[in-house]
Amino acid sequence: DADVTQTPRNRITKTGKRIMLECSQTKGHDRMYWYRQDPGLGLRLIYYSFDVKDINKGEISDGYSVSRQAQAKFSLSLESAIPNQTALYFCATQRGQGRSEQYFGPGTRLTVT
Amino acid sequence: QKEVEQNSGPLSVPEGAIASLNCTYSDRVSQSFFWYRQYSGKSPELIMSIYSNGDKEDGRFTAQLNKASQYVSLLIRDSQPSDSATYLCAVNHRGTYKYIFGTGTRLKVLA
C-alpha cells in the first residue's frame, strides 16, 4: 500500500461548491503539507502542519482551509470553488526532526467549471 | 530574481548519454537540497538529497553541490527513455519549514 494516499484522485465540480480533498499517511511523519501545481508556476504551498495542534498558512492560502484530524490525516477544503482553483493538488509529508525529505502523495486533479 | 531557478528545457539527450541538469538558488543560508523526478500528471518522486559541498552518487544519479557558487546539479549517466520527465530542484533553509521548488527542467531521452 502507498505510504501517502489522496482522495479523490480526480474531481470535477462547479463554481460555488464546497469540496474537500483528503490526505492520509502511514509513514508516521509529523509534518504535512498541501501544495498546488499549475503549469509554469511550479509547486506552491497552501497550508502546512507540524502536528495536530500546529497549522499554518502558506503562500497562497486564500480560498482554502484545512483540518488536521490526526497525525495521519490532513484535509484541504475549498469553501466556494472558483475556476482559477483548477489545478493539481499534492499532499506531502516530512519527518519532523533534522534534515529530511518531503514525500508526495499521488495528487488530486481538480477541475472547477 | 527567482529563489530557485532552472532552465525549463526541453533538454534532449540521446539514449546512453549523460544528462546534466542545473539549478541555482539565491539565498546563501540554504542548507538542504533535493532533486525530484515528475512524470506528466504524476506526483514528484524524490531522487536524491544533498547537504554538503561535493558529489553524492546513487546508482546512475550524481548530485553535485557548490554552496560558494550557489548551484546544485544532477547528472544522469546512461540515460534511458524512461528517464524522460521533468526534474524539480528544491531548496530548504535551515530551521524553516519552507521548501522552495524550481519550476523544473523537462528532459527528453531520445531512443
Taking CB atoms and an 8 Å limit, are B42 and A107 in contact across chains?
yes
Taking CB atoms and an 8 Å limit, are A99 and B32 in contact across chains?
yes
pLDDT at A99: 72
Grid coordinates representing A20 are 474537500
The answer on pLDDT for A98 being more than 80 is no
pLDDT at B95: 65
Where does residue B88 rank: exposed (0-12), middle (13-18), buried (19+ CB within 10 A)? buried
CB of A43 within 8 Å of a chain B CB? The answer is: yes
A51-80 pLDDT tens trace: 999 999 999 999 999 999 999 999 999 999
A14-51 pLDDT tens trace: 999 999 999 999 999 999 999 999 988 889 999 999 99
Residue A52 C-alpha from the chain's centroid = 15
B49-73 pLDDT tens trace: 999 999 999 999 999 999 999 999 9
The better pLDDT of the pair B99, B35 is held by B35
**Residues 63-92, chain B, touching A (beta carbon < 8 A):** 88, 90, 92
Mean pLDDT, residues B16-39: 93
Highest mean pLDDT among A92-101, B26-35, B83-92: B83-92
Q: Are the C-beta atoms of residues B76 and B61 closer than 8 Å to each other? A: yes
Q: Which residues of A touch B99 (CB under 8 A)?
A: 45, 102
Interior angle at CA A3, CA B81 and CA B95, nearest 5: 95
CB of B31 within 8 Å of a chain A CB? The answer is: yes
Grid coordinates representing A108 are 488530486
Average pLDDT in chain B: 93
The helix (H) or strand (E) run that includes residue B95 is none
CB of B32 within 8 Å of a chain A CB? The answer is: yes
DSSP state of B90: E
Percent of chain B with pLDDT over 70: 98
Nearest CA in chain A to B32: A99
| Residues A53, B97: Cα–Cα separation, whole Å | 16
Taking CB atoms and an 8 Å limit, are A102 and B88 in contact across chains?
no
Residue B15 C-alpha from the chain's centroid = 19
| Residues B15, B46: Cα–Cα separation, whole Å | 22
E strands, B1-111, in order: 4-5, 11-14, 19-25, 30-38, 45-50, 54-58, 61-66, 71-76, 85-93, 99-101, 105-110
Q: Within 10 Å of residue A40's Cβ, how many Cβ atoms?
A: 7
Nearest CA in chain A to B6: A42
Widest pairwise Cα distance in chain B = 44
